[in-house]
Structure 1
Amino acid sequence: MSRVLDKESGKRVRSPIGVILGHVDSGKTSLLDIVRGTAVQAREAAGITQHVGASFFPSETILDVCGPLIQASKIKLDIPGILIIDTPGHAAFMNLRKRGASVADIAILVVDVIRGFQAQTYESLDILRARKTPFIIAANKIDRISSWKSIPNAPFIQTYNSQNSKAKADMDNRVYDIMGELSELRMEGERYDRVKDFRKSIAIVPTSAKSGEGIPDLFLVLSGLTQQFMMGKLEYVEGPGVGTVLEVKEEEGLGTTIDVILYEGVIKKNDHVVIGGRDGASLLKVRALLEPKELDEMRDPKDKFKSVDEIYASAGVKIAAPGLEDALAGAPIRVAPKGMEDEILEAVANEIESFRIETKSNGVILKVDTLGSLEAIVDMLKEKNIPIQKADVGDVNKKDVIDAAIVGERTPEYSAILCFNVDVLHDAQEEVEVNDIKVFFGNVIYNLIDEYERWMLDTIEAVKSDSLKDLLMPGKITVLPHHTFRASKPAIVGIEVLGGRIAPQLMLIREDNKRVGRIHQLQDQQESVQEAKKGKQVAMSMRGPTVGRQIREGDVLYVDVPEKHAVLLMKKYREMITADDVKILEELAKIKKENISKFWGW
């Protein structure tokens, strides 16, 4: 049963939906396996019910796994159980979406206790916060802590109390490290048994997917949190079913099918349903509702499913229906009662369209595999102030490349296509090569965006360098006291660059606009250099002036930037030059206005 009566309210409640996230190799899959294995051991073969894409843990199984822990905590379970999504990781969670939120009621963020927070840990946190999903942290791999002596399947407190002082100290420090990482992200965390208010602190549960330690504690915290703070949210909604498409799959003998997580109401065989797809929304008739057969029922490996007449939330189910080829993972699915088909078609189509982006403005092009990925990555790009010209689901086509090329003519740093778990179509690949468009591929959001950002900065620098290479850049120096090495023919003095840069052959002027001559040579530690930038002290030789006459120790000198160059730098390329460059150009303009013409410059 995925719904029971809440004794206090008298209303039916559904099972909370849980999902497991974390960095690659943090132990997500192993943790899910040990959670399932522990449950099976506790209740023998009937311990868990296998759904499509999820495992249902009944409250009786949870009580058995938690054992004396749940008695000591005095938690009375009124939830029917917990439905945990079988596919750990970002992809599953991103597709567990409904408008502005997540279908998941709670998440387990798995952190490798030895390595701490890693790239996908931060990515997971970003997605969890964006979807406003409560979560707990499984500080996994405690069996790898130095001197740790594992007690298989024991509650964490029991195994912790049996350790020596060295192992305890190491364990404590690892948890403090996680708390510190959370603190830097403006979140409060604490080891679960020390949490005073679960609404304010993120519970950290030390676990081992290898030994099973901490698994009872994990079940305790999961069930306790949902029981204490989510009963209102878990109220069972009677009526037509509402769910989300977790995955679109080809099944032998069935054709295209969809794996659905149902989180409201009921869905029945022969119901008409509206499903979000690449081209909007479609109205289809359910041909079959399928659940996995128990292992002992499987006579033929190809015969994996059994047909059922109806499914109630919360549940995972496979749906077979004609016309599912267009269905999108992450899209909504809603039962459409007779007379409401058009209204529901319009609502689902509008929801799908709200995530697509297509503008005429400058920005990158984003192509992804699912609607859930689209929503999550668009949010992250916006957070990083990376403009988006187009964002959609599907492989990169010829028009995408042409659009990127047009943007590249105006802003080369946005002439890029970001591909998340998608490919470039053959005819589009030819356009990519002809137009020299940068295409980024990835299946980790952080890495994909990081790679683009690095390329973007390099491109901006290259464009800046190319645009400015023919312009004389500003520079400001002072002649250092007691650093006259030769008075004339050539004059050699020690100088410090106060701002900008200087180089051989540049003409220098004084603060009264009098020219003192061209730089002949620059030397740093008796080695000739072709440029000196702000903060650098070097020896400078000039053929024209005499120290004590045209230049003196303590003088401030400027590169004599031509008016045309100064105007271009200040008007056209101002965003490409530094604040320091702008300040020197303004000082130079003041000198010119006072000594040549009040109309000099911009």
Structure 2
Amino acid sequence: MGTKSVKVKTLADKYGVSVKEIIKELESQGFGDDVKSASSVIPPDAVELVKSYLDELMAKRGGEPGRGAGNRDGGGAVSAASAGQQEVHIKGPVIVKSLAEALGKRPNEVITSLMMMNVLASINQMLEPAVAVELAAKMGFTLVIDKRGKEEHVQKDAGSQSADAPEEIEFADNPKDIIARQPIVTFMGHVDHGKTSLQDAIRKTRVAAGEAGGITQHIGASIAHCGNKSVTFVDTPGHEAFTAMRARGANVTDIVVLVVAADDGFMPQTIEAMNHAKAAKVPIIVAMNKIDLPNANPDKVLLNMQQNGLMPEDWGGTIGVVKVSAKTGQGIDDLLERILLEAEMLELKGNPKRPAEAFVLESQLEQGYGPTASIVVKNGTLHVGDPIICGEYYGKVKGLIDHRGQRIKSAGPSTPVKIVGLSGVPDAGTKLVVCKSEKEAKEIGEARSASKRVETLSGKGGGMTLDDLFSQMENGKRNTLKVVVKTDVCGSSEAIVESLKKLPSEKISVEVLHAAVGAITESDVQLAASSNAIVIGFHVRVNPGVNDLAKKENVEIRLYSIIYELLEDIKDAMAGRLEPDKREKELGVAHILKIFELSRGPKICGCMVDKGVVKVGSKSRVFRKGELIFNGEVRSLRRFQDDVKEVRQGMECGIKLDNFLDFDVGDVIQFYEIELKKATL
């Protein structure tokens, strides 16, 4: 909340001081033009400074400080009245404003003292604890930084156990309640090797046709039925940018189907996916897809497997290999049988009567629903109305939507559902559990959110030293492309940010100012405008009126649906931010034969073009006896009575140069142009 404007008389009455005294203080702060009388309104940005001054004045006089400053912010446990004490307590993180209040000093005094210590900081900026302690010592105080206030300590101690408990509570299962659950299977592999198409063939549905570029963009889950048994499928994108999402898919899965194209064999992302599965200690089945192609080479795939530590059964190993074709349907039944066989060997069990335990596959903001999360229930049963906690977000299950888009009342073990009712968008891979009550879930969520905020603030550098500032000025040659990223789902946001950070360049770096889920808003454009950044949207829309603001602020908004295009365009944008390489290209040479004086305007030199060509607008250098006397450009060319754009070798012409009159017969004029070559990363 911003500070409200206050009248001079109101403040004078509150503190029991004269109006003149307050006006004098405002004049010393540089606000004299705005405040002239008792009815004048003190600007919002001056209110805090004046209140700090009055608190200090009251403390010196031994009176009670005004309620407006010293006791308003919980940041300082000691107000200006207790400034005489040697030991001062303050809550961390330490803000300049709260430090000033705790020490009983005016904020501008603290800021000035910080500058003397080579630290630049504004009134609302956070300081490093060591800097704050050193500053307090110089002012005659011993500063003690508490992590939390007393009330917070009590509240945290009371709720600290419950804050971590939901995910760690061990539930005692009744053996009678334990049943076999269906396997959760993840399809992994290189891009365009047919993961989604293979699942389509299994589910007998069409998914890939709806994906931009035929490439799966987000993790999705669905159920396929095989006789009286079912299999839950998790489809992870194949592009290497989605490494983190694929790793999460491996962590919630029971079996990995590694899809390898029979014509391509193992590719970089195939090996990467295999390593994720191995790290998660998940059984692997190799699906040799595109076996119907004439250039299919099964032996190559088997050799690649052996080279990467996957010994196929045909070669005496333990890894099952199934030859399939998503196009013709060949081998689909064999693959399902193999999956169910592996699941049988794993003896997967679940207890539908215990509170649900699930993992987030994907999360997003959806119109009409708010924050939603696609989850897979690993154990237990999730019911509509259950109070839940997922990381720092909490809520009550308002709706469960299955993989077919239908609303259901409960979801048992190994069931993928979309959940509605969370207070925010959790990170993919976060564990979701059921709490005892909605009140408990809210308390834990808010405590975690506050804790995360403190950690975030504490992790940032406090202020900037003058040395840092000068070194940044000296290193100003290094360019930065700043971007604001908005995506439809959390996993895409993380993957795009990681991909942008990995773009290689010694000349320019990418800085992600903000990455979030949801449509592109006015605040995104304003952030980009203030930071000279571009806005990137991935599978999102632009809110009404935002494009007009972007044009007004000269902010570029780029929308994408395929990650390849996004990364390629960003590379081009990075190259565009670099200064182009400049190179001189010689055009021609001429020498002056005669000087023509005109009644009006500058002199014109009559020249003979000895070499090359002379063009209007080209750069020129004038040499006299081998020494350079002028560097400019050709303003106009005349041949006989006509103005021309260029004159070639062996022809005479009249040349008028830009702001140069000191011609002499025999001077040599050299013509050239600057070629701009696109800079490379």
Give the structure-1-normalised TM-score.
0.48
**Higher RCO, 1 or 2 (CA under 8 Å, sep at least 6)?**
1
Give the structure-2-normalised TM-score.
0.43
